Amino acid sequence: MPATTSRRRRAATAAADATVADTKGATVADASAAGAPAAAPAPVSGVPAAGVPAAAPARRGPSPQAAGLLALLATVTIWAAFALSARALSSSTLQPADAALIRFGLPPLLLAPALWRRRRQIAAVRPGPALQIACGAGVPFFLAAMYGGSLTSAAFVGSIVPGVVPLFVSAMMAARGHGLPRGTRAAGLTLIAAGVLALVWRYVVPVDSDVLAGSGMLLLAGGLWALYTVGLQEVNLDPAGSIGLLCVPSFLVIALLVATGVLPTSLGSATASDIALFTVVQGLGVGLCAGLLYAFAIRRLGAQRSAVIGTLSPVLVVLLAVPLLDEAPTLAVALGVPVITAGVLLANRSAGRSADPSATRAADRPADGPATRTEVSTDA
C-alpha cells in the first residue's frame, strides 16, 4: 500500500506540471498570434538577453543642415577676408606677387597626394575650359583684384567683384544664344548696375583718377571671375581637382614672373606677421578651405540657399572694415552695397527657377569664393 500511494502522488504531481506547461505554451502561442512579442528572460548582471538588440546610442553633433550652415558662414567669412586682405596688402611688407605665390602655392602643396590621384582627370580637361579657369581665377584675376583694392577700399572689393559676376555671366550666356535676361533676373541685374554707379558717382565729379582706375580693375576682376565661373561648369572635377587645375599652372606662372624680374618681390624681407596673415587668409582660407567648405554647404543646403546666404558677404566686408581697417562707410557705400546685394539676391533667385540648367549653374556662386568665390564658386 505505501508503494501504491507513493506512485499515485508522483503521477498527480506530473499531471499538474503538465497542465501548467500547457497553459504557458498556450499563453505564448496566443501572444504570438496577436502579434505581441513573448517576454524575454531578464538580463543577468546588466547584460542584454540573447536576441534582444541593445538600444542605439543617442545621436550627437549638429544636424546636416546645421553643419551646412556653419560651413557656409565660414565660407562667407573667408570671402570677406579676401576683400579685407586685398585692401590691407597695400600697407603690408608684401608685394602682390608675394601674396600670389602664397595663394597659389600652398593649396597644391597640402593637396599633393589627392592631386596625384586625380592627375589623369585634370590632364583630361579640354584646353578651352582650362584656360578660362586659369585666367578667370588665376594670376590675371588675382593681380587685378589686389591692384584694384589698393586704390579703392575693402567695401569696393567686397561688393563690385562678386556683384558684377551675374552681369558678365548673363552677357556670356546671351552671346551663346541663351537669350537676354527677363523678369526678375533683369531687375536684379539692373539693381547691380545701379549699385555700382552709386559707389563710384562721387568720384566722377570731381574726378578721382585713382579710385576710378581701381574700380575699373575691380570690374575687370569681376569679368574674369565670370569667365572662370562659366569655365568651371564645363569640367567634371571635384573641388580638390578644381583647386589643382587652378593653382598648379597659376603658381608656375607667378613663379616665372617673379624669377625673371617682371614682378617685384619682397618676400625675403617681409615681416613674419604679414607672411603668417596672408598664409592663413589667402593660402589656407581662400586657396583651400573656401572651395571645400562651399561645396560641403551646397551638398547640405542646396545651391540656391547657399547662393542666397552668400550674398551677405559684401555687408560683412563693410562691417569688418570699420574695426579692422578703420574704414568708415561713406554715403556712397551705404547706398551702393545694399543695392548691389539686393540685385545679386534677385538675380540668383531667378537663376534658381531658370529652365536652362547651364544658365542656372553659371549664375550661382562658385565654390571657392570672392574672395575666392567659387560655386561651385563665386570664389575670389
C-alpha cell belonging to residue 194:
545701379
Nearest to 230 by CA among 97, 103, 128: 128
Mean pLDDT of 186-194: 94
What is the spatial distance between Cα 160 and Cα 216, in angstroms, rounded to a whole number?
10
- Cβ contacts of 213 within 8 Å, gap of 6 or more: 151
Vertex 164 angle, CA 162 and 167, to 5°: 135
**Single pTM value for the model:** 0.76
pLDDT tops 60 at residue 19: no
What is the spatial distance between Cα 173 and Cα 245, in angstroms, rounded to a whole number?
23
Mean pLDDT of 286-290: 92
47 DSSP assignment:
B
What is the spatial distance between Cα 341 and Cα 311, in angstroms, rounded to a whole number?
6
Give the DSSP per-residue string, 12-25.
Answer: HHHHHHHHHHHHHH
Nearest to 212 by CA among 151, 166, 168, 272: 151
Binned at pLDDT 50, 70 and 90, residue 28 comes out as very low
What is the residue whose three cell numbers read 624680374? Answer: 261
Nearest to 303 by CA among 356, 343, 363: 363
Radius of gyration of the chain (CA): 32
Predicted confidence (pLDDT) per residue in 296-328, tens digit: 888 888 777 777 777 889 999 999 999 999 999
